[in-house]
Amino acid sequence: MSTLTTVLIIVALVAVVLVAGVLIRARTGPGSGTRSLKRSFGPEYDRSLERHGGDVEATHRDLRERTERYGGIRPLPLEPAVREQYTAQWTTLQERFVDAPAQAVADAEQLLTRVAAVRGFPDADRRDEQLAALSVHHPHHVEGLRTIHRTTRSSSASTEELREALVHARALFEDLTATGSTAGTDARRHPVPMPVRGRGPVLKPKGSGA
């Protein structure tokens, strides 16, 4: 084999490797990864991007690590009687909001974290892990738990802010107690106002007949 032939073969092999690398990068590169993660995480992607100061690589690493760590969780089913009990508790705390808004919101946070733990997510005393796991399985509504946590710990939260936090958290509660895969759709598209003393209806859970 001549030297020229050998060189041509080497050049051809290098070209093949380069083309293959370009194709692989086109399929799995940052652009493709961004689209995939945005579809999977929705608003949680933007929140993570903001938290990482706009660093796309850090955002992707964060979300992929969460997926690898918590994506394998298979939420445990709720027995119908247990689901009804949780729904009744949520209805009760909503009705109590008129007279004790701060306590009602605090109770809502406790109920949310308890239901999440019963479904197989990390316990409430591992708050960061619970939130990370929920962000993988309920990325569109996990912010409701963060919001209600911040609000309950704010000494200056107004009644309206407490009301908004409770409404926001309702979608996650519905996700965690739903029997199907469309949890929270109605709450997200048609949010219903919480009661304010002297006006407005009491927010009722689905299936309550109201």
Q: What pLDDT score does 117 carry?
A: 96
Domain final residue, candidates 16, 46, 70: 70
Q: How sure is the predictor about 123, in pLDDT bands with cuts at 50, 70 and 90? A: very high
Q: What pLDDT score does 5 carry?
A: 61
The answer on 122 and 52 residing in a single domain is: no
The answer on 99 and 60 residing in a single domain is: no
Structural domain contains residue 115: yes
Token code pair at residue 81: 């009687």
The answer on 147 and 98 residing in a single domain is: yes
Token code pair at residue 82: 């247990």
Residue 24 has pLDDT above 80, yes or no: no
Strands (E), the chain: none
The residue segments making up the domain with residue 50 are: 32-70
Residue 110 has pLDDT above 70, yes or no: yes
The answer on 182 and 92 residing in a single domain is: yes
Structural domain contains residue 37: yes
Distance between CA atoms of 157 and 177, rounded to whole angstroms? 28
Q: What pLDDT score does 33 carry?
A: 76
Domain count, the chain: 2
CB < 8 Å & 24+ apart, contacts of 37-41: 37/63, 37/64, 40/67, 40/139, 41/135, 41/139
Q: How sure is the predictor about 72, in pLDDT bands with cuts at 50, 70 and 90? A: very high
Q: Report the predicted TM-score, pTM, of the whole model to 2 decimal places.
A: 0.69
The answer on 158 and 104 residing in a single domain is: yes
Q: What pLDDT score does 57 carry?
A: 95
The answer on 89 and 58 residing in a single domain is: no
Q: How sure is the predictor about 34, in pLDDT bands with cuts at 50, 70 and 90? A: confident
